[in-house]
Amino acid sequence: MTLKRNIIITGGAGFIGSHVVRLFVNNYPEYHIINLDKLTYAGNLANLQDIENRPNYTFVKADICDYDKIRELLQHYHVDGIIHLAAESHVDRSIKDPFTFAHTNVMGTLTLLQAAKVYWESLPERYEGKRFYHISTDEVYGALQLTNPAGDKTGRGPYGDQFFTEESKYNPHSPYSASKAGSDHFVRAFHDTYGMPTIVTNCSNNYGPYQFPEKLIPLFINNIRHHKPLPVYGKGENVRDWLYVIDHARAIDVIFHRGRIAETYNIGGFNEWKNLDIIKVLIKTADRLLGHPEGYSSDLITYVTDRKGHDLRYAIDSTKLKNELGWEPSLQFEEGIEETVRWYLNNQAWMDNVTSGDYQNYYESMYKNR
């Protein structure tokens, strides 16, 4: 019998967070899962409609930067685990508004750490049985060289030999990745200074249902659906390592329960794609599912000014996670991307709700008076 636990998942109304909340609520009926989210533009409670009435689930609208509120919630719910996903997550927004990223990602994480420290240290058992698990990104490691732009090299990395490992040096380039790097350092500092039982994971690009349509994959699927231009930054040659979001949630489950304290684990799919190639797959798949002739949407590709400081290549080596905890991606990319395109096309109401802004009324109508 698994022990009862009270776990706060921050950012649970966002893309990855909603999959993590769903997985924990479904897989662990004996746990109480508290979804703590401020509901910024990226938070959408409709992502969790299917589980919102479960007895082991509670939603709390709160800001991770609000120390007193966090401290009160930790005590009220006797929280023994924190899985921290809340963040500002979009690189383009960070280039326009770096302050918000420093505030939420660095100060918000520090606020959570300090509140957890004060609460856990007030208990007789202190840190025993506790866990602070921080979700971070591969972008903190900077960018890798693209030594083989053709992408036809056989072996582990089609585009180059270098990979990000847990020992890779931090070298963030965007305000987003700099703010995530800052938050990672604070988490490790709380272990090293106070003995807090922390874990950090750094994951590659996620794709799948419920992603906000500012990110490449949902934005482009929606634009293909409406026959609107597909804005490719630069020449479309940047390489990303894509992982199905439910495989990330599975990794978080395994690491939360069996990962070693104070360790870092990299999470990735050994699945590198050049942007232009992934865009061609999206066009081909969406056109087929929409009943258009092959190549119908190809003329929507529009080359636009490159993102400032655009990292060339990311590729994660997740061997440590596989060897230590036996985690591997469960889904082949071809299968995952087909499911994803199908999901966005079949869930047009979800997409319309997000693009119209109506999703922001969900909390008022469904939760305010609970």
Closer residue to ligand NAD (CB): 206 or 318? 206
Does position 11 interact with ligand NAD (CB under 6 A)? The reply is: yes
Q: Which does 74 bind (CB under 5 to 8 A by kind): ligand DAU, ligand NAD, none?
A: none
List 37, 52, 80, 138, catalytic entry: 138
138 an active-site residue? yes
- Give residues with Cβ within 8 angstroms of 175, minimum separation 6: 94, 95, 98, 101, 102
Closer residue to ligand DAU (CB): 142 or 259? 142
Closest residue to ligand DAU, Cβ-based?
137
User: What DSSP letter does each residue of 201-215 carry, written as one string?
Assistant: EEE-EEESTT--TTS
Does position 180 interact with ligand NAD (CB under 6 A)? The reply is: yes
Binding-site member from 22, 38, 117, 240 for ligand DAU (CB under 6 A):
240
Does position 168 interact with ligand DAU (CB under 6 A)? The reply is: no
Does position 86 interact with ligand NAD (CB under 6 A)? The reply is: yes
Q: 315-328: string of b/e by CB count within 10 Å (b at 16+)?
A: bbbbebbeeebebe
Binding-site member from 52, 80, 139, 272 for ligand DAU (CB under 6 A):
139
Closer residue to ligand DAU (CB): 104 or 275? 275
Binding-site member from 91, 146, 203, 217 for ligand NAD (CB under 6 A):
203
Closer residue to ligand DAU (CB): 139 or 247? 139
Does position 205 interact with ligand NAD (CB under 6 A)? The reply is: yes
- Give residues with Cβ within 8 angstroms of 307, minimum separation 6: 91, 92, 95, 233, 234
Instruction: Please report, as a single letter, which amino acid is at residue 135.
Output: I
Q: Please give the C-alpha separations between residue 361 and each of 182, 195, 271, 353, 357, in angstroms, as whole numbers.
A: 33, 42, 37, 10, 8
List 139, 287, 311, 317, catalytic entry: 139
Contact 125, 165 (CB under 8 A): no
Pairing of the two strands 205-207 and 57-61: unpaired
Binding-site member from 6, 23, 28, 40 for ligand NAD (CB under 6 A):
40
Total residues binding ligand NAD (CB under 6 A): 29
Torsion over CA: 269, 212, 370, 107 (sign): positive
Tokens read off for 275:
């942007």
Within 51-80, which residues bind ligand NAD (CB under 6 A)? 63-65
139 an active-site residue? yes
Nearest approach, Cβ of 55 to ligand DAU (angstroms)?
Answer: 32
Binding-site member from 10, 105, 109, 204 for ligand DAU (CB under 6 A):
204
Query: Where are the strands (E) in the chain, listed by range?
Result: 6-10, 32-37, 57-61, 81-84, 131-137, 198-203, 205-207, 230-233, 239-244, 264-267, 272-274, 301-304
Output the furthest CA–CA distance in the chain (Å, rounded). Answer: 67
Within 259-288, which residues bind ligand DAU (CB under 6 A)? 275
CA 293 – CA 307 distance, rounded (Å): 32
CA 321 – CA 302 distance, rounded (Å): 39
Closest residue to ligand NAD, Cβ-based?
14
Closer residue to ligand DAU (CB): 191 or 274? 274
Within 122-151, which residues bind ligand NAD (CB under 6 A)? 135, 137
Nearest approach, Cβ of 299 to ligand NAD (angstroms)?
Answer: 29
Instruction: Please report, as a single letter, which amino acid is at residue 211.
Output: Q
